[in-house]
Homo-oligomer: A and B are copies of this chain.
Amino acid sequence: MAVSRQKLNNIQSEAAERLESCIQSFGLTEEEQEAIRAFNSLKTVKKGTLLLKEGDFFSSCFYILKGCVRQYYLVDGEEKTTFFYTEDQSISSSLGPNSQIPSKFYLECTEDTSLTITTYEEERDLYKRFPRLESFCRATAEQQLSISQEMFATFKMSSPEERYLNILKTRPELIHRVPQYQLASFLGIKPESLSRIRKRISINHC
């Protein structure tokens, strides 16, 4: 238990350093930086923690500093993994702050994970006090939207093997961080197809 607590403390310290370095990189004034620090929204949670369940109302924004969060849907009792969020990726609701529509998916930490959790109310307050922050978040959201659209387009145009090669190129660390059956689902293929692709690639590279 003590070892596990020590491990979480180490992750939290590493995440706090990353957060501080993020805050300093945004080009904000000292006052704006202090306002963000004052939220003290950094949390470290254990592997297996569910951040969100199907049916929950999703009213926060998560920003991953260290760790991995899996998004999955439960379809006829089967978990369908659709995304992995890792360092420097954020997750927010599609439905806005006042939505009465419950979440259709789950968010599960597949590793001990450090993340900031900001509610919509806190965000709104911060934007009111520091309009420049809202400007920054507007540009970030637009950029993330187009990156997401480009990822979707690339996925549509790719064969299963090309999708795997693309992950090897763009997020190589993911291959070793998550179970293969979840990775297969994330790539939109069956686990046995992923296994065949990996064998073929390893033979071609011998």
Contacts and interface: CB of A to CB of B under 8 A. Distances in A.
Interface residues of A, number: 39
A87 interface: no
A39 interface: no
Contacts of A157: 73, 75, 80, 82, 188
A156 interface: yes
B153 A82 contact: yes
The A interface is mostly helix, strand or loop, or mixed, namely helix
Nearest to A188: B156
A84 interface: no
Interface string A181-201: 000011010000000000000
Nearest to A144: B145
A138 interface: yes
Interface string A110-153: 00000000000000000100010011011101111111111111
15 contacts: A73-B157, A83-B153, A94-B143, A94-B146, A95-B143, A95-B146, A96-B142, A131-B134, A137-B138, A145-B148, A148-B149, A151-B152, A152-B152, A152-B155, A155-B188
Interface of A: 71, 73, 75, 80, 82-83, 92-96, 104-105, 127, 131, 134-135, 137-139, 141-153, 155-157, 185-186, 188
